Structure 1
Amino acid sequence: MKNLALFTYKYRKFVLAFWTVLVLFFGFFALKLPSVLNGSGFEYEGSYQEVQNIMQSDFDIPATSMILLFEKDKEAADNDFTAYMNDTLSNVEKVKDTHVYRPPSSIKDNRSYAVLSFDGTDDKRAENIKEIRSKLSDTKLFSVGLTGGSVIAEDMNQASQDDLVRAELIGIPIAIIVLLLAFRGVIAALIPLVTGFVSVIIAMGLLYFTGQKIDLSIFVLNTAPMIGLALGIDFALLFVNRFREELGPAPIKDATIKTVLTSGRAIIFSGFCVLLGLVGMLFIQVGIFQAVALGGVAVVFTSVLAAITFLPALLSVLGPHINKWTILRTKEKQMSGWHKFAGFVMKRPVIMAVLAIALLITGAIPVAHMKLAIPEANALPTSYESRTTFEKYEATFAEKDITTVPLIAKATEDMTEAGALENLEDLILTLKKDPLVSDVESIFSATEMTAEQLTGALHVPEMKAQLEPAFEQLTNGQQAILQVSLRADGSSDKAKDWVREWENKQTALDVKVGGQPKFQQEIFDEIYNKIWYSLAFILISTYIVLFFAFRSVLIPLKAILMNVISLSCTFGIVVWLFQGGHLGSVPSDIALMIPIFAFSIVFGLSMDYEVFLISRIYEIYQETGDNDKATLQGLISTSKIITSAAAIMIVITGAFAFTGIVPVQQMGVTVALAIFIDATIVRMVLVPSLMKLLGDLNWWSPLRKRKIVRQNG
Structure 2
Amino acid sequence: MSNLGEIGYRYRKSIVAIWLAIVLALSVFALQLPSVLKGNGFVMKGTYADVNQLLHDRFGVNKSTLLLLFEQDTNKSEEQFQAFITQSVERMQAIGLESLQGVTAPYKANGALQDPALYKDGLAYVSLGFDLEAGDMGANIDIIQLELAELKKSGSIMLTGSPVIEQDLNTASQEDLTRAEMLGLPVALVVLLLAFGGLVAAGLPLVIGLISVASTMGVLYFFGLQMNLSVFLLNVVVMLGLALGIDFALLFVNRFRQELKRHNVQEAVRISVMTAGESIIFSGLCVFIGLAAMLFIQVDIFKVIALGGMTVVLFSILSALTLLPALLSLLGHRVNSLMILKEKPERGSIWLRFAGLVMKRPIVMAALALIILLASMIPIRDMVLRVPGTDSLPANYESRIAFEKYERTFLGQHTASLVMIAETEAAAVEPASLAALHKLADRLAADPLVGNVESPFSLTGGLGAEEIAAALADPTAAAALAPVIERLTSDNMTLLKVRLDVSPYDRQARDWVRSWDGENEGVKLLIGGYPKFNQEIFDEIEAKVGYCLALILGATYLILLLAFRSVLIPLKAIIMNALSLCATFGIIVWIFQNGLFGMEPSNIALFIPIFIFSIVFGLSTDYEVFLISRIQEIYHTTGDNDQATLEGLALTSKIITSAAAIMIVITGAFAFTGVMPVKQLGVGIALAILIDATIVRMVLVPSMMKLFGAWNWWAPRWLRRRGKGATSSH
Shorter-normalised TM-score: what interval? Answer: over 0.9
1:117 equivalent to 2:126? Answer no
Matches within 5 A, 1:58-73: 58-73=58-73
Distance 1:445 1:337 in 2: 77
Letter in 2 for 1:286: V
Distance 2:410 2:522 in 1: 36
CA distance change for structure 1 residues 334 and 24 in 2, over 3 Å: closer, same or farther? closer
Distance 1:462 1:451 in 2: 18
Which digits, 9 at most, give the CA deviation of each residue in 1:629-657, with x for residues without a partner? 21111111100000000000000000000
Distance 2:467 2:437 in 1: 14
CA distance change for structure 1 residues 273 and 44 in 2, over 3 Å: closer, same or farther? same
Counterpart of 2:635 (choices 621, 628, 637) is 621
Letter in 2 for 1:262: T
Distance 1:552 1:207 in 2: 38
Is this contact kept in 1: 2:38–2:135, CA < 8 A? Answer: no
Counterpart of 2:589 (choices 575, 582, 586) is 575
CA distance change for structure 1 residues 211 and 370 in 2, over 3 Å: closer, same or farther? same
Distance 1:340 1:397 in 2: 64
Q: Structure 1 regions of 5+ residues with no counterpart?
A: none
SS in 2 for 1:134: helix
Distance 1:482 1:491 in 2: 21
CA distance change for structure 1 residues 333 and 268 in 2, over 3 Å: closer, same or farther? closer
SS in 2 for 1:213: coil
Q: Which moved more, 1:532-541 or 1:396-405?
A: 396-405
Q: How many residues align?
A: 709
Matches within 5 A, 1:305-324: 305-324=318-337
Counterpart of 1:409 (choices 415, 422, 432) is 422
SS in 2 for 1:101: strand
Distance 2:173 2:660 in 1: 25
Counterpart of 1:690 (choices 691, 704, 707) is 704
Letter in 2 for 1:62: N
TM-fit CA distance, 1:688? 0.9
1:589 equivalent to 2:603? Answer yes
CA distance change for structure 1 residues 389 and 605 in 2, over 3 Å: closer, same or farther? same
Is this contact kept in 2: 1:408–1:480, CA < 8 A? Answer: yes
Letter in 1 for 2:173: S
1:511 matched to which residue of 2? 525
Matches within 5 A, 1:514-553: 514-553=528-567
TM-fit CA distance, 1:584? 2.0
TM-fit CA distance, 1:372? 0.8
Is this contact kept in 2: 1:27–1:201, CA < 8 A? Answer: yes
TM-score (normalizing by structure 1)? 0.97
Distance 1:400 1:342 in 2: 54
Distance 2:359 2:198 in 1: 33
TM-fit CA distance, 1:462? 2.8
1:479 equivalent to 2:490? Answer no
Distance 1:107 1:342 in 2: 69
Counterpart of 2:141 (choices 117, 121, 129) is 129
1:33 matched to which residue of 2? 33
2:50 matched to which residue of 1? 50
Distance 1:587 1:72 in 2: 30
SS in 1 for 2:142: helix
Counterpart of 1:96 (choices 95, 98, 119) is 98
Letter in 2 for 1:79: E
Distance 2:660 2:613 in 1: 17
TM-fit CA distance, 1:107? 4.3
Is this contact kept in 1: 2:440–2:520, CA < 8 A? Answer: no
SS in 1 for 2:45: coil
Distance 1:334 1:401 in 2: 62
1:452 equivalent to 2:466? Answer yes
TM-score (normalizing by structure 2)? 0.95
Identity of aligned residues (%): 51
Is this contact kept in 1: 2:421–2:494, CA < 8 A? Answer: yes
Q: Structure 2 regions of 5+ residues with no counterpart?
A: 106-114, 725-730
Is this contact kept in 2: 1:73–1:141, CA < 8 A? Answer: no
TM-fit CA distance, 1:76? 0.6
Distance 1:704 1:446 in 2: 75
TM-fit CA distance, 1:121? 4.8
TM-fit CA distance, 1:557? 0.5
SS in 2 for 1:344: helix
Letter in 1 for 2:103: V
Counterpart of 1:498 (choices 512, 515, 526) is 512
CA distance change for structure 1 residues 205 and 368 in 2, over 3 Å: closer, same or farther? same
1:565 equivalent to 2:568? Answer no
Which digits, 9 at most, give the CA deviation of each residue in 1:93-145, with x for residues without a partner? 23222232113237433221111111135553111111111121344561100
TM-fit CA distance, 1:696? 1.3
Q: Which moved more, 1:269-278 or 1:490-499?
A: 490-499
Counterpart of 2:390 (choices 377, 387, 391) is 377
Is this contact kept in 2: 1:443–1:470, CA < 8 A? Answer: yes
Is this contact kept in 2: 1:625–1:708, CA < 8 A? Answer: no
Quote the RMSD (CA, aligned, Å): 1.5
Distance 2:498 2:120 in 1: 25
SS in 2 for 1:164: helix
CA distance change for structure 1 residues 625 and 380 in 2, over 3 Å: closer, same or farther? same
SS in 1 for 2:451: strand
CA distance change for structure 1 residues 519 and 608 in 2, over 3 Å: closer, same or farther? same
Distance 2:432 2:418 in 1: 25
Distance 2:98 2:570 in 1: 60
Is this contact kept in 2: 1:42–1:287, CA < 8 A? Answer: yes
SS in 1 for 2:596: coil
Q: Which moved more, 1:86-95 or 1:700-709?
A: 700-709
Distance 2:65 2:346 in 1: 68
TM-fit CA distance, 1:460? 2.0
Which digits, 9 at most, give the CA deviation of each residue in 1:75-108, with x for residues without a partner? 1111111111111111112322223211323743
Is this contact kept in 1: 2:388–2:606, CA < 8 A? Answer: yes
Letter in 1 for 2:362: P
SS in 2 for 1:583: helix
Is this contact kept in 2: 1:72–1:141, CA < 8 A? Answer: no
Is this contact kept in 1: 2:103–2:127, CA < 8 A? Answer: yes
Is this contact kept in 2: 1:191–1:236, CA < 8 A? Answer: yes
Distance 1:333 1:176 in 2: 20
Which digits, 9 at most, give the CA deviation of each residue in 1:600-633, with x for residues without a partner? 0111111111111011112222222222221111
SS in 1 for 2:601: coil
2:353 matched to which residue of 1? 340
Is this contact kept in 1: 2:422–2:495, CA < 8 A? Answer: yes
Distance 1:487 1:266 in 2: 56
Distance 1:428 1:84 in 2: 40
1:185 equivalent to 2:185? Answer no
Counterpart of 2:442 (choices 429, 438, 458) is 429
1:673 equivalent to 2:673? Answer no
CA distance change for structure 1 residues 370 and 704 in 2, over 3 Å: closer, same or farther? same
1:211 equivalent to 2:224? Answer yes
1:147 matched to which residue of 2? 160
Counterpart of 2:117 (choices 98, 105, 110) is 105
TM-fit CA distance, 1:705? 3.9
TM-fit CA distance, 1:62? 1.3
Is this contact kept in 2: 1:88–1:135, CA < 8 A? Answer: no
SS in 1 for 2:63: coil
Letter in 1 for 2:380: V
TM-fit CA distance, 1:505? 5.1
Distance 1:51 1:519 in 2: 10
Letter in 1 for 2:167: E
Letter in 2 for 1:117: G
CA distance change for structure 1 residues 677 and 32 in 2, over 3 Å: closer, same or farther? same
Letter in 1 for 2:87: D
Counterpart of 1:395 (choices 391, 408, 421) is 408
Q: Which moved more, 1:623-632 or 1:542-551?
A: 623-632
TM-fit CA distance, 1:400? 4.3
TM-fit CA distance, 1:402? 2.1
TM-fit CA distance, 1:425? 0.7
2:108 matched to which residue of 1? none
SS in 2 for 1:70: strand
TM-fit CA distance, 1:64? 2.2
Distance 2:129 2:226 in 1: 26
SS in 2 for 1:114: strand
